[in-house]
Structure 1
Amino acid sequence: MTTAAATTVTTTMGIPIMTANPPEAIPLRHEYKHQINLREDLVLSQRLRKLFPHDPHAGADGCYRVTSLYFDTPYDSALREKLDGVNRREKFRLRYYGADPSFIRLEKKFKQNGLCGKRSARMTAEQVQSLLAGEYGFLLDSGEPLFIEFYSKLQGKGLRPKTIVRYDREAFLYAPGNVRITLDRDICTGLGNVDFQNPDTFYLRALEQSTVLEVKYDAFLPELVRMAVQVPGRQAAACSKYAVCRRFD
């Protein structure tokens, strides 16, 4: 049995802001990112393939495509907070996997004290079309806490779709520590286009000759993983695919 998130109502300049507090069942995770070059990617991916299984939901080559539509305020609050390293921040996005946009999720990713969490809820293609047309009523009537919170942010903070971020991901899993290692390649932007369900949308490559390595885990990082993802001379650094793609607005 799952417990719905509680909803807190606050006001900003007299506007009610309903925030669904993250359920206690959602663990906060560590997340580290590195931007690596193609040669490093080649060496690292060959090593990881020998040590860890691919994500079982991926294709035969262990890879799958990720397409996301990110939302932000008129003042680009999510972007600014990311670039400024604000300790508590959040961002909303719509996401689907592969080439079929029929299974879409609304996701809220949040960061607290250096740890990350994510909540998600299924949204139909028809609901997405309504959302992009500016028709938000179904969110408030849904009874889904994440939809209701998203509605309040759309109305109270002026969240609007900003850009599409698309990339190809190779994912590896390691059960101890609930570790997930991903290599995100061919990161592209929709150049401000928000019609992310359209397969004919034009994309521009946002990162040339680079791959984003991400390592996510729960309470501890096993030594095997720590050694496996070592890239000499590289340091963990903030590397937001959303921020990279927003440079082309």
Structure 2
Amino acid sequence: MKTLKFRHEKKHYINIADYYSIRTRLKYIAGTDKFAGADGTYKIRSLYFDTPANKALIEKLESFNHREKFRIRFYNDDPSYIKLEKKSKTNGLCLKRSAPLTREQCEQLLGGDIAWLAGAGHELLVELYAKMKHQLLRPKTVVDYRREAYIFEPGNIRITIDRDIGSGLFSQDLFNPNLPTVGIIHGGYIVLEVKYDEFLPEIIQDIIQTNHRRSTAISKYAACRMYG
């Protein structure tokens, strides 16, 4: 059984000049993500869940010490590989758990049929069922963006650069490849995320210049909820 481990996660806004500089240097020392296409990027689509009282959104905006959110996610408009994810944050450290889903299961869930979750055989699906029953957790917002990801093995470092972030507004039309979205980060800014275990090697600190850029509590879900 895989051991679950909390990790550090730092997020920064960067501009296009930062992006090209960081990208050029990363290519010399880090590998790329398995989902990347010929241009080094891939598309992520997520459907986030929340309660009628917007529990996940409020926990984020109020910086609760312990918070969580559920989402369904797939890549490059290809629904052959879909996963349910739960992302938790405690004392500033992050933990992510996931469970596989089929398109048919997703469509059942989005159609309001959730009874099958209780007997799905995966603890995360059972947890989602319990929270959909007792907290009235429901699909809320589609979030799209393009990601460029790099992996630096020493220290288990993952660096992601997210851009073209868009909100699907009030839609939960997860499998519509032509779903209209509204861009949510203005001024040409891009989101840089750095995830690591116990320490961040100096070589990575130098490349991404984290000492010169203030970490910020960016949430793509919260940003997309500005529109509804």
Q: TM-score normalized by structure 2? A: 0.96
- Partner residue in 2 for 1:235: 214
- The answer as to 2:149 corresponding to 1:149 is no
Change in 2 beyond 3 A, CA 1:57/1:199? closer
Q: CA deviation at 1:233?
A: 4.5
Q: Secondary structure at the match of 1:33?
A: strand
2:153 aligns with 175
Alignment check: 8 A CA contact 1:106 1:120 kept = yes
Alignment of 1:221 onto 2:221: no
What does the per-residue CA deviation read over 1:172-195, in whole Å, with 9 as the maximum and x for residues that have no partner?
Answer: 010011000000010011011001
Matched, 1:93 2:71: yes
User: 2:147 & 2:58 partners in 1: Cα distance?
Assistant: 26
In 2: Cα distance, 1:241 partner to 1:101 partner: 21
Residue 185 in 1 paired to residue 163 in 2? yes
**Matched residue, 1:162:** 140
Contact 1:34 1:237 in 2 (8 A): yes
Please state how far the C-alpha of 1:102 moved relative to its aligned partner: 2.4
For structure 1, the residue ranges without an aligned partner over 5 or more in a row are: 4-24
Q: Deviations over 1:104-133 (max 9, x none)?
A: 100000011110001100011011011011
**Are the aligned partners of 1:40 and 1:231 in contact in 2 as well (CA < 8 Å)?**
no
Which residue number in structure 2 is paired with residue 133 of structure 1?
Answer: 111
Q: State the partner residue of 1:17.
A: none
Q: Distance in 2 between matches of 1:108 and 1:232?
A: 30
Taking the aligned partners of 1:152 and 1:56, their CA distance within structure 2 comes to: 33
- For the residues of structure 2 that align with 1:57 and 1:242, how far apart are their CA atoms? 22
**CA offsets per residue over residues 67-106 of structure 1, 9 Å max, x none?**
0000001111111111111011100000001121221100
Query: How much has 1:54 moved relative to structure 2?
Result: 1.3
Aligned-residue sequence identity (percent) comes to: 48
Q: RMSD across aligned C-alpha pairs, in angstroms?
A: 1.3
Aligned to 1:104: 82
Tell me how far 1:62 sits from its aligned partner: 2.0
1:47 equivalent among 25, 30, 48? 25
1:122 maps to: 100
Distance 1:180 1:232 in 2: 18
The range that moved more, 200-209 or 39-48, is: 39-48
CA distance in 1, matches of 2:210, 2:197: 22
Q: Which runs of 5 or more structure 2 residues have no equivalent in the other structure?
A: none
1:200 and 2:149 matched: no
Question: Offset at 1:196?
Answer: 1.1
1:151-190 residue CA offsets vs partner (Å, 9 max, x unmatched): 0000100111110111000000100110000000100110
2:205/2:211 contact within 8 Å kept: no
Q: TM-score, normalised by structure 1?
A: 0.88
State the AA in 2 paired with 1:224.
I
Any conservation in 2 of the 1:95–1:107 contact (CA below 8 Å)?
Answer: yes
